[in-house]
Amino acid sequence: MKENTFARRYGLIILAGIVAGAAALILTAAGNPKNMGFCIACFERDIAGALGLHSAVKVQYIRPEIPGIVLGATLSALAFREFKARAGSCPASRFVLGLFVMIGALVFLGCPLRMVIRLGGGDLTAVAGLLGFLAGILVGIVFLKKGFSLGRAYPVKRGESFVLPAVMLGLLALLLLAPGLLRFSQEGPGSMRAFWPVSLAAGLAVGFIAQRSRLCMAGGLRDAFLLRDFTLLAGFLAIWVTVTVGNLIIGNYNLSAVSQPIAHSQYLWSFLGMALAGWGSILLGGCPLRQLILAGEGNGDAAVTVLGMVAGAAIAHNFGLAGSADSAAEGIYTVGGIGAAGMAAVIIGFAVLLAVSLLHLPGKEEA
Amino acid sequence: MRQRILRCVVSFHTTAGAMAAERLCRREELEGKLISVPRSVTSDCGLAWSAPPGLRETLERRFREAGIEAAGFHELAL
């Protein structure tokens, strides 16, 4: 039995990467912040702000991309009979892990998806984040090899599987029918937004194809290091190439380590923030994008993780943990980054991840 | 173009299960390797054990005896 295995193996995942990259370019052209066409961490942070869970006035908006991704994954899973109600895999630990993955991402100023999009815009400050993400994944793999596990999920009643999709529909309903209940940024990244149908359509498309292809930033690197299997990594690279080529064509490519949009040049803390996000993502079994997709497929544990990430975003901004961007005004370039509270949060995050990792290793009788 | 061959693919509920299966098979010199679980098996992105189809019964028995919970055994052309 002979066939073209390259197309069979890589076709869908590369297509998913191209769709995600193109969606990011379109959303930026339509009004989203530069190098932030898509960012799961930033958009969940904006949603937390819109609901009044934090009071950072520059980052408040119900981003329709997030409901779009979840609902796109739900539609795909239902259409292909892969929608399964499952839960029960250490939900409390997952909540905490999601919380610290979010804090790590907001210290860097972006989730793994935005990290790739920043790299595709020529943002060299994101290289520190990429190296940190790789380091975090390698630490996570060490614990996987030692037997780390949050345990299996079990079938649950069907109603459980629709919780996060229903929450997402509720968010859309609030945005469209009761915007007066929400907070909207008047300046800053939260005020930069594509027209909502464009955002929703982009989210639906990415959610649908990410569910079909299993697109995952952390999973791609895990498989590459652990199995020498580059299938999922091809999606990661396809996003990078698509965004780079697109930015070069439309003249938005700026290869530089200074004056990058919504980025800071505290390289050590970018590295450590993404190391925290990478390690946490391996323990969770997927990056923030993948958690949205799994929740859309009916996985209650992933839904809890997403709620943990939203809580993490609120904590990050209520306690001043998130990074602030470099800025230039009146000829003076000011380096942004994080303060002492953010640094402490990253260190605490590593301690918490270490504790979760050690507490979920097999006992002597199981090893 | 390359030849596709029939394999016994064992999926697991957790990554730790797949890792435990690998350790057992290495220890008992049972042929096979860890792979990314094929898309045709599940939408999950975990790990699976790929072995010659003739080993299926041995693997079923040894995994059961060792307390390694498999999610399913599949014969696939890979």
Please give the pLDDT value at position A151.
Answer: 95
Average pLDDT in chain A: 96
How far away is chain A from the Cα of B43, in angstroms, using its nearest Cα?
7
Report the b/e string of A233-262 with b at 16+ CB within 10 A.
Answer: bbbbebbbebbbebbeeeebbbeebeebbb
Please give the pLDDT value at position B44.
Answer: 87
Of chain A, the percentage scoring pLDDT greater than 70 comes to 98
Task: Inform me whether the pLDDT recorded for B23 exceeds 60.
Answer: yes
Please give the pLDDT value at position A4.
Answer: 66
Contact A160, A89 (CB under 8 A): no
Q: Strands A154-155 and A332-334: what pairing? A: unpaired
As a whole number, mean pLDDT of residues A39-49 equals 98
Q: pLDDT per residue over B27-59, tens digit each? A: 999 999 999 999 999 988 899 999 999 999 999
As a whole number, mean pLDDT of residues A8-16 equals 94
As a whole number, mean pLDDT of residues A310-334 equals 94
Provide, as residue numbers in chain A, all residues whose Cβ is less than 8 Å from the Cβ of B4: 1-3, 5
Please give the pLDDT value at position A3.
Answer: 63
Q: Which of B45, B49, B68, B69 to mutate to test the interface with A (most CBs of A within 10 A)?
A: B45
| Chain B, nearest residue to A283 by Cα | B15
Please give the pLDDT value at position A193.
Answer: 97
Q: pLDDT per residue over A225-266, tens digit each? A: 999 999 999 999 999 999 999 999 999 999 999 999 999 999
Please give the pLDDT value at position A344.
Answer: 98
As a whole number, mean pLDDT of residues A206-229 equals 96
Residue type, A51: L
Q: Which of B9, B11, B15, B49 to mutate to test the interface with A (most CBs of A within 10 A)?
A: B15
B4 at interface of A, judged by CB pairs closer than 8 A: yes
Residue type, B22: E
| Chain A, nearest residue to B49 by Cα | A227
Does B4 contact A290 at a Cβ distance shorter than 8 Å?
no
pLDDT band at A292 (very low <50, low <70, confident <90, very high): very high
Partner residues linked to A256 by β-bridges: A123
- Tokens for B40, please give them: 């045709």
Provide, as residue numbers in chain A, all residues whose Cβ is less than 8 Å from the Cβ of B77: 1
How far away is chain B from the Cα of A210, in angstroms, using its nearest Cα?
10
A118 at interface of B, judged by CB pairs closer than 8 A: no
B residues 33-72 closer than 8 Å to A (CB): 34-36, 39, 42-47, 67, 69
How far away is chain B from the Cα of A182, in angstroms, using its nearest Cα?
35
CA A267 to CA A285: how far, in whole Å?
26
pLDDT band at A7 (very low <50, low <70, confident <90, very high): confident
Task: Inform me whether the pLDDT recorded for A365 exceeds 70.
Answer: no
CA B45 to CA B14: how far, in whole Å?
10
Of chain A, the percentage scoring pLDDT greater than 90 comes to 94
A223 at interface of B, judged by CB pairs closer than 8 A: yes
Task: Inform me whether the pLDDT recorded for A303 exceeds 80.
Answer: yes
How far away is chain A from the Cα of B54, in angstroms, using its nearest Cα?
19
B9 at interface of A, judged by CB pairs closer than 8 A: no
Task: Inform me whether the pLDDT recorded for B16 exceeds 90.
Answer: yes
Partner residues linked to A154 by β-bridges: A87
ipTM of the complex, rounded to two decimals: 0.91
CA A101 to CA A96: how far, in whole Å?
9
Tokens 């009643």, residue located: A157
Task: Inform me whether the pLDDT recorded for A41 exceeds 60.
Answer: yes
Q: pLDDT per residue over A116-136, tens digit each? A: 999 999 999 999 999 999 999
Task: Inform me whether the pLDDT recorded for A343 exceeds 70.
Answer: yes
How far away is chain A from the Cα of B4, in angstroms, using its nearest Cα?
6
pLDDT band at A366 (very low <50, low <70, confident <90, very high): low
First-to-last CA distance in chain A?
40
Q: Strands A86-87 and B6-12: what pairing? A: unpaired
Task: Inform me whether the pLDDT recorded for A2 exceeds 90.
Answer: no
pLDDT band at B4 (very low <50, low <70, confident <90, very high): confident
